[in-house]
Structures are given as structure tokens and as C-alpha cells.
Amino acid sequence: MCGIVGAVARRNITPILIEGLRRLEYRGYDSAGIAIRDSAGRIQRIRSVGKVASLQQRMEENPIEGELGIAHTRWATHGMPAERNAHPHMSGEQVAVVHNGIIENHAELREELIAKGYRFTSDTDTEVIAHLMADAVKDGNDLCNAFKSVVKRLVGAYSLAVASPDDPDRIVVARAGSPLVVGLGDGENFVASDVFALLTETQRFIFLEEGDLADVRREGVQVFDSEGNPVERPVVSSKLNPTATDKGPYRHYMLKEIFEQPAVVAETLEGRIHKGRLLEESFGYETKSLLDRTKRIQIIACGTSYHAGMVARYWFEEIGIPCNVEVASEYRYRKSVVSPDTLFVTISQSGETADTLAALRGSRQQGYIGSLVICNVPESSLVRESDVALMTRAGPEIGVASTKAFTTQLVALRLLVLALARRQGVDAEQLNTWVEELHALPRQMEVVLKLNDQIEEMAQGFAERSHALFLGRGPFYPIALEGALKLKEISYIHAEAYPAGELKHGPLALVDAEMPVVCALPDDPLLEKVLSNLQEVRARGGELFLFSDKRVKIELDNYQSLTLDDICPTTAPIVYTVPLQLLSYHVALLKGTDVDQPRNLAKSVTVE
């Protein structure tokens, strides 16, 4: 939520900040701004409503240059998207501040500052920090000491970067609840919300820890812990390729990421299965010993990751492991009863989702045997704070609507199921079959991607509709939820998912000739039941869009369908996800919406 980037160098840093913002845009994009200290020692600020491109346009009309600066792309929390609310915020001509997160005690701080004569020009919580800084600097503190005293007064979750016209050599930053990295250069240093923002400048990073503050200068970086003591944090070399975040030949990141799925699924399996066998050693000793003690599972996640957890519940219970799944924002605020020998599992693409992280932190006092995270970002907070991690290897996911992260999460969950199945006494032959099914998955996904043109045609039936219904039973119910989520996220068509058996308890009242109904029809034990539910839809004139196994005989009077070949039973939910992603993508294209950055959403939700 919101992206921060900053640089202090001996060259013009404007292009570095703009490129950083472009790479961080997935975190929020309702306004953007930049503050640069120019050669005359003044802070020049430009802000603009809308995306980074509109800020760039403003800057072309009014170019600014300098060797020190900070910039921000915003996802609004306090105050509507408007230029006055865009960051950086300043106190008069003084300090400039960019902020990601929420300052919970901003109202009382604002009152105190108004009483002192400070004039507010925005509706944001952030502006109090600018005035607090100006006040602290006025008392004769240097920027870093002033910052230390100001941060002590802030309640909430945040990451911050501050620059001052009076200090030509430093940016001060803090991390408390929202991610922040320091990028190390030669005679220049950088800060950003994530490493992707800085990959074109450096591969060397310091990941600030909770409560850390850093004084970032050209010739060095000093980190302080939450007590204000100087600390050494490790310097990590990133192996990420700077072009990993390019669109390549694809029109949108989402399409690129959908088509990357066979490769990243194979990558997630690499070194973890071999010749029909799960290579459990690849999980590491600590994970293995945690799994030895696991008798039950509690899964916590948000959004698409929550849907992955819902699919996995069917898989875990199939092998006799009781499993609960809940969204983090509900779980963290209710009293829950933890059964003995329960493993706490979080699932998250980013590893930074505020509610999931808070649920993990809360779980430590609840009597779980330990915590395991399934995550796509190795340096993330969830990975660092969990006992063990099982990494998905999807690579950077830029499209706000999650695609490859979801399918690789399901693959990681399947690996976990296999590891626990052996402990549950599932026989070797069955285990081998399940491993082989995972092995076949990338190839099956390749085949499904070849349906792209036909799905594009199918999408024509949707573009003029205002509503859609997705149905599924068993593990295909969460897949229906995910299909509906994709459609509403990127095409803004109202879509609901229902367990097909529940249709008659309400949603059937909505079905008429204007209601497209989407359903996956794998060749599974619930097939006949689902087909009966679809008869109920047809009897009310509902229009059916089906994705079915070629072995399935559909006896319905009118429908559109595409067939999928040779899909294995255990991995079918993963494969059937792909056509639903493509369907939403093509509907969104027809509707002309912003596929990669749908309105009001952001990829990394670091506020609760």
C-alpha cells in the first residue's frame, strides 16, 4: 500500500526516482509525487493525481533536477485522491515526508500542532509528521536526532522517508509495520518499499527490521534499532533480474503472468519432487520436524491467498488432517480455541499483508506448535517472522489481480499435503501417483493456455452483462470464488460464487436470460450433482459457460463449453483456474478497464 523511493547521490536522481515509482506503482496509483533538493538548496515538489505517467508529464513541463530526493505513489487511506493529499508532504518550505501506512494518533497530534501555529494543507494523517519534524528541527536538532524524537511520538504502522533542504547529504527513514529496504551503491545510496524499485541501480540491500531507523548518506548508512542503538544489519545480494518486472511481448502483466504459469509451477516443483518421490529434505530440517508434530492445521490468509487455503482444506481433510481456514481480518479479532498439535499456516504472495502478519504475531501466544508461511517474497516480513517457510517461486507478480501466485501457492500446498500424507500412513503407490500428477501439471497448463483464442471468443458473451454467477462444488467451490474475484476485480462486473448445491437456497432467484453462469466440470465424484444444478439454471433460462473434462457428457439444452484433456484429479483445481483467469482477462479487455491496475485496489495491502 503506497510506494516509497528515495536517493542520495552525486548525479541527478530524478530519473532514478521516477523509474522506482513506476516499478512500485502496483502498490497504489491514485496519485504520485516527488520532492527534490535542488542545487540552490530548495526543495522542489511536484505532485499529481492519477498514475506515475501523469506525474511524469507534469515534470516534462516543469523539469527538476537534484542529487537528493524522495518520491511516493499513493493508495488513499486518510483523505481522497487529490493533489493536496498526495505525498511528499511538507511543513512550509521545510522538511518533506513520504509515508506508507497509518498514523493512528494523528488527530491529537494535529490539534497540538495547530495550537502551536502550524497550518495544515491536506486531509492526511501524514502531514503531522512533516510539522512535527519542522518543530523538532527548529529546536536545534540535526535531522536524524529530530527524526528519532518524532518517531517516538507516532502510534501506528508505517514506513517513512524524510528529506530536508538544510541537509544536503541525508535521507532519514524508519520502518514500523510496513516494509522498507536500503539499497547500497558506490558513493550513493537509496531507499524503497521493495527491492524491485531499485534493481536497476543496485543488487545490494539492507532489509530494515521492525522498529529500525536509518540515516542514509552518500558515503554510508547507519541503522539504529528501536531503542536508538546503532546496529549492524546484514547486506543481502539480490539475485533478481532487473528485467524480471518487464512486460516482455505481452500487452499486460496479467497476461504475461498467466502465460508464465507452466514455467513457474515447474520452478516451484524443482528440487522438491524427483522420479515419483517427494524430496522432503528440500523443506529443511526444521520444517520436517514441525511436520512430524502436526496433527491439525489452521490456515490464515487474505484475498486470493485465502482461496488457495480453502482448496487446501479439502486436500488436508482427505488425508485425515483436520483443517480450518479463515480470513486474517476476522481471525485476528476473535477469540479462537486452538486444539493441541495444530500448525499455524499463513499464505501470502507478498508476505506483507497487514492482517495476515498481525494474525501471525497474535498466534504466538495461542498455543500453536509453530508457524509455517507459504510465500512468494523471500525477504518479506512473514517469511522472516514465521518459524519456517515454504517458498513459491512465481517470480515478481505485478498485475494487481493475482494469477501465478495463486497456482504456485496451490502447488506448495500440494507438496505439504504429500509430506503429511506419508506421516498419515498413505501408501507409497498412492503417494507416487500424486507426485506424478504434480509432475504432469506444467504440461497440462500449457495445453489449457492454447484455449486462449477460444476463451477470447467466449468472453464476448460477458462484456455487456452486469452480473455473473460462478458455481462449483468441493474444491471447485473455492475455484469458483477465485473466478468470480478475478472477474469483479478487473472487469468491474458484479460476480458471485456459490457452492452449486446452495443455488436453490437463494441465488436461483437471480437467474434469468441476462445471467451468465460459469462452471468448471471436472470428471469427479460430484459431477452428476453439479450437472443437476446446471439443469436448474437452464430451466430458468440462465446462460451457461462451461469448462469441462473431455470425458464428461453434458446433456443440457443450451450452453457454451470448452473441453480440457487428461486432467489429473488432485491437480484439477489448479488447471481449471487458468481458463477462468483468461476469461476475466478477455472480458476486461472488451470492457476497456485498466487490467493491471484496477480502480481502488492495490497489490500489497499493508494497512489493516
Binding interface with ligand G6P (CB under 6 A): 302-305, 348-350, 353, 356, 400, 402, 601, 603, 605
Distance CA 395, CA 73 (A): 22
Q: Which is nearer to ligand G6P, 31 or 305 (CB)?
A: 305
Q: Which is nearer to ligand G6P, 261 or 353 (CB)?
A: 353
Q: Which is nearer to ligand G6P, 348 or 371 (CB)?
A: 348
Give the 3-state secondary structure of residue 58.
helix
Q: Could you check whether the bond before residue 442 is cis, i.e. omega within 30 degrees of 0?
A: no
Q: Which is nearer to ligand G6P, 18 or 264 (CB)?
A: 264
Task: In angstroms, give the least distance from the CB of 201 to ligand G6P.
Answer: 25
Q: Which is nearer to ligand G6P, 58 or 307 (CB)?
A: 307
Task: In angstroms, give the least distance from the CB of 598 to ligand G6P.
Answer: 9
Active site residue 519: no
* Other Cβ atoms closer than 10 A to 440: 15
Task: In angstroms, give the least distance from the CB of 593 to ligand G6P.
Answer: 15
Crossing angle of helices 428-449 and 261-269, in 10° steps, is 160
Measured at CB, which residue is nearest to ligand G6P?
303
Report residue 322 CA to chain centroid gap: 27
Q: How many CA atoms lie within 13 A of 228 on its CB side?
A: 9
Task: In angstroms, give the least distance from the CB of 77 to ligand G6P.
Answer: 15
Pair type for strands 388-391 and 370-375:
parallel
Give the start-end residues of each E strand in 118-272: 156-163, 170-176, 181-184, 189-192, 204-207, 213-217, 220-224, 230-231, 235-237
Task: In angstroms, give the least distance from the CB of 281 to ligand G6P.
Answer: 27
Task: In angstroms, give the least distance from the CB of 455 to ligand G6P.
Answer: 21
- Listing DSSP states for 452-463 in one string gives HHHHHHHHTTTT
Q: Which is nearer to ligand G6P, 28 or 507 (CB)?
A: 28
Phi, psi at 175, each rounded to 5°: -130, 120
Task: In angstroms, give the least distance from the CB of 27 to ligand G6P.
Answer: 10
SS (H, E, C) 519-570: EEECCCCCHHHHHHHHHHHHHCCCEEEEEEECCCCCCCCCCEEEEECCCCCC
Distance CA 245, CA 163 (A): 28
Q: Which is nearer to ligand G6P, 385 or 456 (CB)?
A: 385
Active site residue 144: no
Residue 70, judged by CB atoms within 10 A of its CB (0-12, 13-18, 19+), counts as buried
Angstrom distances, CA of residue 159 to CA of 173, 565, 606: 7, 49, 10
Q: Which is nearer to ligand G6P, 101 or 303 (CB)?
A: 303
Task: In angstroms, give the least distance from the CB of 231 to ligand G6P.
Answer: 28
Task: In angstroms, give the least distance from the CB of 420 to ligand G6P.
Answer: 22
**Shortest CA distance to 383 belongs to which of 395, 394, 372, 367?**
372
Crossing angle of helices 261-269 and 404-423, in 10° steps, is 30
Crossing angle of helices 303-318 and 476-491, in 10° steps, is 170
- Which residues, in sequence order, are CB contacts of 400 under 8 Å at separation 6+? 26, 489, 490, 596, 597, 598, 601, 602, 603
Pair type for strands 323-327 and 296-301:
parallel
| CB 494 within 8 Å of CB 470 | no
Distance CA 24, CA 263 (A): 24
Question: Annotated catalytic residue: which of 51, 404, 486, 603?
Answer: 603
Question: Annotated catalytic residue: which of 2, 323, 375, 568?
Answer: 2
| CB 179 within 8 Å of CB 173 | no
DSSP 508: G
Q: Which is nearer to ligand G6P, 25 or 201 (CB)?
A: 25
Phi, psi at 223, each rounded to 5°: -105, 140
Task: In angstroms, give the least distance from the CB of 601 to ligand G6P.
Answer: 5
Distance CA 31, CA 85 (A): 9
Q: Which is nearer to ligand G6P, 304 or 408 (CB)?
A: 304
DSSP 155: -
Q: Which is nearer to ligand G6P, 124 or 305 (CB)?
A: 305
Q: Which is nearer to ligand G6P, 356 or 548 (CB)?
A: 356
Distance CA 380, CA 357 (A): 10
DSSP 93: T
Give catalytic residues, as residue numbers. 2, 603
